Structure 1
Amino acid sequence: MKKKYTIGETAALLGISTQTLRYYDKICLLSPGFTDENTGYRYYYYQQFHFLDRIRYLQSFGMPLEDIRKIIHSGSVDLLLPYLRKKREDALQELKEMEERIKDIEWYIDYFTYMNKGENIDNLYKIQKEERYILSVPCYYKEQLAQMEIRLAAAKSKNEYTQTKFRRQYGYKIDLDALFKKEFYPREYFVYFRGKPDLDRTLYDVIPAGEYLCFQTQALSENWDINMLTKYFEHKPKPKLVLAMEFEDNLVDYADAQYEIQILL
């Protein structure tokens, strides 16, 4: 059995490029163990193969070569273990972020398909909603929607929210009396947080959990049927919270977007 292998032979046997081996040598990570004094050719000993295999294995964890160099040269498991534990924590954090990203994608799919089911058009229906968390800004009577959007964009960009995740659905708290007059009058414009934010309570608002009476309409066109609302609330207490939740059906123009009106019962 051969004991020494040229750089080319080593590269072929282990599936490593010769450029990679030469780079390992350049940064003093692992150098050929034998140099022929007559020819100047350099060789790796067979016993060095397991070092190369370990280097590649540690690289597969995303470990930098400089850290691998320190570990390999120390020859100590005691130095390796803290690095492995740190990489494990990093991987767990990446996994958590990936799981959250998947949830966001699933939520966005549902956002675009929720109104397409077509089961509740022109009907009143009830839904149960969990507590929701929002960032909101005030709106003013007959104000252009663009002004509300600019105000909310400025609020989202504040330093307090730099590390906070939002979900891309916008909505309004709307005036109840105006609703019954077939008038769209937003009191507040808001966007959802991904979940309950880890912020001072003064920096976000809470939409209460509960049962909501709903109907779907093109809210900005003010074309809903007020008769069905008047009839429903004829002998019932006046609700205190009305939301208009936007559901886009295209990526260009939201003026004719469908809204779900949610009335807290």
Structure 2
Amino acid sequence: MSNFSIGEMSKLNNISIQTLRYYDKIGLLKPKVISEKSQYRYYSIEQFFQMDVIKYYKTLGLSLNEIKKLMGRSTSMEEKLDMINFQQEVLENKLLEMEIIKNHLEYMKNTVSSIIEYETDKIFIKYNEKREYISYDCVSATIDELEINYRKVMPNSENQLEKLSYELSSMVSYDELKEKMVYKNIMTNNYVRMLKNEGRAIVLPEGEYITIYFEGGCFENKKYYNKIIDYINKNNIKISGDFHEVYILPQVNEDGKENTLMKLEIMKKRINIC
């Protein structure tokens, strides 16, 4: 029976020498023959099929540790079915994760395309349909309070995909004379979470909103509030409600400081025509 060096095994099975050495190290596929004279290690021809089995299970998504448990032992039909069901569930979860990422990328694509159209640091008036949010009433007058409140009301999950499934925003009152802002709440548009937490439903009505896109950080964006207020005063516009600050894309600058892509808007008051 022929024996094959690690180089030959690598070439004939289209797998790297580094991977073969790793499989040997973890005990998944160890060379079967050791030369008494040279102490060189060789693979047998039957291990070609073992490699095929490893590759097959990898295509099903099994981890190397799971494959190692299956190698070299017979499994019942029930165990085979359990393995198939488990891997199917794993795949469905991965597909769900990919769908979340895909939907978020589509949202970001549309948002950034809109920003390119309107440009940053420029005021425009935009019509919005009715929007529904979950509001967590926690007042923040400083950046420290806002950061702590955010972590209190939003889930401290290790699953970063969860953060892609909602838009985060706040209603903000702003005193232009004192240049003082107060974040009145934290809002998310994830409706599944509304069933799990104690946030209250809040609706931003349809209508025209005076809007600006910019890059900056919370409590460091007063100039954009002032810019909108100047626009309102110059154009004699009546407004309704507080400012709505939306966090679009988290970013940091070269100094490590927050430079998040944001949207600031406030509703233009409807004029009733008799």
Q: TM-score, normalised by structure 1?
A: 0.65
**Superposed displacement of residue 14, structure 1:** 0.9
Cα pair distance change 1:45/1:184, threshold 3 Å: same
Residue equivalent to 1:219: 225
Residue equivalent to 1:236: none
Q: Deviations over 1:108-162 (max 9, x none)?
A: 444445355349x7776532133123444325xxx6xxx1x32221112227621
Contact 1:135–1:204, Cα closer than 8 Å, also in 2: yes
Counterpart CA distance in 2 for 1:42 and 1:214 is 73
**Superposed displacement of residue 33, structure 1:** 5.5
Cα pair distance change 1:84/1:7, threshold 3 Å: farther
How many residues of Structure 1 are paired with residues of Structure 2 in the alignment? Answer: 241
Is 2:156 the counterpart of 1:162? yes
What's the C-alpha RMSD, in Å, of the aligned pairs?
4.4
Q: Which amino acid aligns with 2:231?
A: W
2:203 to 208, 216, 221: 208
Counterpart CA distance in 2 for 1:201 and 1:42 is 58
Q: Secondary structure at the match of 1:126?
A: strand
Contact 2:237–2:268, Cα closer than 8 Å, also in 1: no
Contact 1:7–1:18, Cα closer than 8 Å, also in 2: no
* Gaps in structure 1 of 5+ consecutive residues: 234-238
Q: Deviations over 1:88-120 (max 9, x none)?
A: 32232223223223333443444445355349x
Residue equivalent to 1:171: 170
Counterpart CA distance in 2 for 1:113 and 1:103 is 15
Computing the radius of gyration over CA atoms, which structure comes out larger, 1 or 2?
Answer: 1
Q: Which amino acid aligns with 2:9?
A: T
Q: Secondary structure at the match of 2:230?
A: coil
Contact 1:112–1:248, Cα closer than 8 Å, also in 2: no
Q: Secondary structure at the match of 1:138?
A: coil
Contact 1:216–1:259, Cα closer than 8 Å, also in 2: yes
Q: Secondary structure at the match of 1:95?
A: helix
Counterpart CA distance in 1 for 2:36 and 2:203 is 82
Residue equivalent to 1:259: 264
Cα pair distance change 1:194/1:122, threshold 3 Å: closer
Counterpart CA distance in 1 for 2:172 and 2:45 is 73
* Gaps in structure 2 of 5+ consecutive residues: 213-223
Counterpart CA distance in 2 for 1:109 and 1:57 is 37
Q: Deviations over 1:160-199 (max 9, x none)?
A: 6213637565432548xx89xx998866444443512525
Counterpart CA distance in 2 for 1:46 and 1:214 is 72
Worse overlay, 26-35 or 64-73: 26-35
Cα pair distance change 1:41/1:264, threshold 3 Å: same
Alignment of 1:20-39 (within 5 A): 20-21=19-20, 24=23, 27-31=26-30
Counterpart CA distance in 1 for 2:91 and 2:247 is 35
Q: Percent identity?
A: 20
Contact 1:136–1:152, Cα closer than 8 Å, also in 2: no
Q: Deviations over 1:176-229 (max 9, x none)?
A: xx89xx998866444443512525676324321642332236423421335644
Q: Which amino acid aligns with 1:15?
A: N
Counterpart CA distance in 2 for 1:150 and 1:83 is 48
Cα pair distance change 1:25/1:184, threshold 3 Å: closer
Contact 2:134–2:194, Cα closer than 8 Å, also in 1: no
**Superposed displacement of residue 77, structure 1:** 5.8
Residue equivalent to 2:2: 4
Counterpart CA distance in 2 for 1:248 and 1:69 is 44
**Superposed displacement of residue 29, structure 1:** 3.6
